[in-house]
Chain A
Amino acid sequence: MTTTPYLAVRDLTVAFGDVRAVSDLSYAVPLGRTLAIVGESGSGKSAAALAVMGLHDPATTRITGSVTVGGAEVVGMAPAELRALRGSRAAMVFQDPQSALHPYFTVGAQIAEAYRAHNAVSRRAARAHAADVLGRVGIPAARRRLDDYPHQFSGGMRQRVMIAMALVNDPKLLIADEPTTALDVTVQAQILDLIADLRREFGSAVVVITHDLGVVAEIADDVLVMYAGRCVERGPTRTVLGAPAHPYTWGLLESIPVVAEKPARLRPIPGSPPNPRTPPTGCAFHPRCRYPERVGDTACRDRMPELTGDGDRLSRCHLPRPDQVFRAEVLPLLGTGDQHVR
């Protein structure tokens, strides 16, 4: 890839007291591309996203490493400069719409305010722009709905209002934290289409955080899999989901019953994610992994594997020839994928 990435994260570490939520995370997103970050709850997805937006409380959070947005360093950026960045060049759609929409102000007032914070325009002009953006995210009769309060919208519409608010200043970077987790599949499909359209229309860099690999398959160019605060696998979506190299990614795929076919049986990952206060030694996944014996002696328990790989796909695992293991032992469990619905 020749494009310089708009968002570049290098060796990012986020710690709350003695809890290390994110360790040594690196990734890059060029303009016009979508990266999905997947992982179980507590794996550090949100903590990493908030660090990119400079939204952590510096009094309680220790952040090291580097995050650049359009060339500007976010780690250590002054609060005023951060405010200028957020909402103009970079915007975030939060996991919980309740937390980001104020219940006592009309939707129109909130969107107009977000616009006026970064543009010297009249109230009238800001209101017209708000109606415009609401219409763009597919709210019918947008002008009339400006004076409604958040509770007067359905869950899916509130999520669209949130996206409208994030887009009001045409950001070059959009981060959406589980934007569809609480929504029905029909509404989820609308929101995913919307995010895809916006990327196409404005050529922004997009990061979507999700725990749903189906969502990843649908909208992401690249995917990054997190486990216990670290990237365990990263690469183009077709490669990572089509021929994954990490046992955790295999486990996720083996755990999901897909709509298009009926698997004989799921093969869940045993156990549960580690407690971030007492992370396992060596490879954090080793207590749940099927392959440490295959690696030999106690390497998985003793040594943290490096993130290594060929070309644009990286994986963090000691297992030799994971491609062969995947083809011989995992792929047969995943079905053929040719029994489509309809």
Chain B
Amino acid sequence: MSDELLRVEDVVKHFGPRRERVRAVDGVSLELAEGQTLGLVGESGCGKSTLGRLVTRLLAPTSGRIHYRGTDIARLTERRLRPFRSDIQMVFQDPYLSLNPRHTVGAIIGAAVARSGERETRTRVRELLEVVGLDADHVDRYPHEFSGGQRQRVGIARALATRPRLIVADEPVSALDVSIQAQIMNLLQDLRREFGIAVLFVAHDLGVVRYFCDRVTVMYLGKVVETGTAQEIYTRPRHPYTQALLSAAPDLSVVRTGTPRPRIRLTGDVPSPVDPPSGCRFRTRCWKADDLCAVEEPALTGTDEHVAACHHA
């Protein structure tokens, strides 16, 4: 990729003691160009948030490399990380938990603004409030005085305060009502276009990801099973898991077309990440699985536009 911003290489994050090691992220690679949006989807517990926290370096990886604009930040000390912290920001799922209730939004956003005089900081905070569609005169209000959607706007203003190049948004709309979700998605879309910000967008809502993202990565039990352009993934999914995920999403268009899409029903639950299945991790739920799938882990293969990890895709 010519204008590469982020390149994650074979990154691993394990939690817990050796005997009960949770393989939350288990050898993941992905790339993101300047200004691009990458959607990260998969069932609960597959490692999406953990990966997001590794990229923002809220967590340190067990192994692997995280190249940000040419520098491997995987192992940098807190002091050496500092310049990268302002470049890579995070927006969280829960606008209720992620803002300190005892600080005014002015103080919350102001703390993130690059050091400058008090007057300048306040001017910049007011400007940021307006950028995210809030009333600049509400700068001295506390988080509880705002609705959920407004709080999410405050969280976004805080992320923008450092003029980041990359935002990791972890389920930024899933706690909000449908009508408010659309407001926030349009806001994020406008901001990233205006400021050229790249976004790693973690979500379980496949419609939201299709709307927002240029490319999509599908994860299963700590691994990437498929990556490609959104157009490819949504119209020609190759991996059985991706196919099942897309076909399970409840779809409104059935009302207008009258013909329900064909369904693939997955049975059973996701296996434990402490003791994942041998070979292909999806094989315990896969309808195409055979003996090969139990012994050999499939590699990601395909074109630049679209790769999938399956022996029989």
Residues of A within 8 A of B (CB): 40-41, 138, 140, 154-157, 184-190, 192-193, 211-215, 217-218, 237-238, 241-242, 251-263, 265-270, 272-273, 334-342
Q: Is the CB of B250 within 8 A of A215?
A: yes
With contacts A188-B250, A263-B211, A273-B177 taken as known, whether A217 is within 8 angstroms of B255 at the C-beta atoms is yes
Q: Is the CB of B44 within 8 A of A155?
A: yes
Q: Please give, as numbers and ranges, the residues of chain A lying within 8 Å of B150 by CB-CB distance.
A: 272
Which of B147, B177, B257 lies in contact with A211, CB distance below 8 A? B177
Listed residue (A40, A155, A185, A339) with the most chain B CB atoms within 10 angstroms of its CB: A185
Nearest CB to that of A331 among chain B residues? B256
Across chains A and B, the number of contacting residue pairs, with CB separation under 8 Å, is 161
Q: Please give, as numbers and ranges, the residues of chain B lying within 8 Å of A336 by CB-CB distance.
A: 256
Whether, in the assembled complex, B181 has its beta carbon less than 8 Å from a beta carbon of chain A, the answer is yes
Whether, in the assembled complex, B163 has its beta carbon less than 8 Å from a beta carbon of chain A, the answer is no
Q: Is the CB of A272 within 8 A of B252?
A: no
Q: Is the CB of B263 within 8 A of A189?
A: yes
* Interface locus among B68-76, B109-117, B240-248: B240-248
Residues of B within 8 A of A (CB): 43-44, 147, 149-150, 177-183, 185-186, 189, 204, 206-208, 210-212, 230-231, 234-237, 243-258, 260-263, 265-270
Q: Is the CB of A256 within 8 A of B253?
A: no
Listed residue (B256, B261, B263, B267) with the most chain A CB atoms within 10 angstroms of its CB: B256
Q: Please give, as numbers and ranges, the residues of chain B lying within 8 Å of A262 by CB-CB distance.
A: 210-211, 230-231, 234
Q: Please give, as numbers and ranges, the residues of chain A lying within 8 Å of B231 by CB-CB distance.
A: 262
Nearest CB to that of B147 among chain A residues? A272
User: How many whole Å from B138's CB to the nearest CB in chain A?
Assistant: 14
Q: Is the CB of A157 within 8 A of B269?
A: yes
Q: Please give, as numbers and ranges, the residues of chain B lying within 8 Å of A340 by CB-CB distance.
A: 253, 257, 261
Q: Please give, as numbers and ranges, the residues of chain A lying within 8 Å of B208 by CB-CB distance.
A: 257
Q: Is the CB of B179 within 8 A of A40?
A: yes
Q: Is the CB of B245 within 8 A of A185?
A: yes
Report the 3 A-B pairs with minimum CB-CB distance, sorted nearest first.
A214-B250, A257-B211, A268-B182
How far is A154 from B271 in the complex, measured between Cα atoms in Å? 11
Q: Is the CB of B206 within 8 A of A185?
A: yes
How far is A218 from B243 in the complex, measured between Cα atoms in Å? 18
User: How many whole Å from B209's CB to the nearest CB in chain A?
Assistant: 9
Listed residue (B180, B182, B237, B252) with the most chain A CB atoms within 10 angstroms of its CB: B252
